[in-house]
Structures are given as structure tokens and as C-alpha cells.
Amino acid sequence: MKEKRNILWLCALAAVCLLGLAAWGLLGRGGGTVAVITVDGQELARVDLSQVRESYDLPVDTAWGHNTIRIEPGAISVTEADCPDKICVSQGRLTGGGIPIVCMPHRLVIQIEGGDIDA
């Protein structure tokens, strides 16, 4: 009877471990690496941040205004904007999925997609 209970505990532990591994695989391993920059819904650029070796600036000038986007290894941010509130600048560096950087007056959106570039 005691052996049967030990086997049940072992099976339960194995099931919990398998569920944990499945959840880890489904939720991702460390966030995305592809930053997608859009202006007014049109894709302007797609940058794989894991492939960036040196930091550089990308100026974005549109009919709505000017932004400077800083692209660096593993991160992206807006460093300059001529909009009145500069919320996009205060959002800081984006390093993974989640909340995008948005400049509403300039219709600029920067978001990180999944870890694969195939999207």
C-alpha cells in the first residue's frame, strides 16, 4: 500500500513538471527580439534587436512631427520628439514584449514581436 502511494506521488510530481515545461514553452523564453516601427499604421522598419551589434539612431520625420529612435543591442527607445508631451521619450527602453512605445501626436508605435523573425 505504501509503494502504491509513493508511485502516485511520483506520477503527480512528474505531471506538475510536465505542465510547468509546457507553460514555459507556450509563454516564451525571454521575450521577443523583433522591434516593429509603424507610423500611421504603415510599417516603417523591422529590426531584429538580437542582431544589433552597435547602437545607432533612426530619425523619423513625418507630416506629424519628428522622433529620434535609438536602436541598441537588445533594446529600442525614443530619445527625442518634438511633440508637446514627450510621453514617448519618458517611456524609456523597450526590451521585450508587453506595452509598446506610442507617440500619439506623431502616430508612431514601436512594439516587440515574438522571438522569431518569421512574422
pLDDT tens digits for the chain (119 residues)?
677 777 766 666 666 555 665 554 554 444 568 999 999 999 999 999 999 999 999 999 999 999 999 999 999 999 999 999 999 999 999 988 778 999 999 999 999 987 444 33
Residue 113, φ and ψ in degrees, nearest 5:
-95, 180
Burial class (CB in 10 A: 0-12, 13-18, 19+), 58: middle
CA distance 10 to 80: 57
- Amino acid identity of residue 117, one-letter, is I
CA distance 58 to 44: 11
**pLDDT at residue number 5:** 73
User: Which residue's C-alpha cell is 516603417?
Assistant: 44
Overall pTM surpassing 0.75 (yes/no): no
CB 114 within 8 A of CB 91: no
**pLDDT at residue number 28:** 47
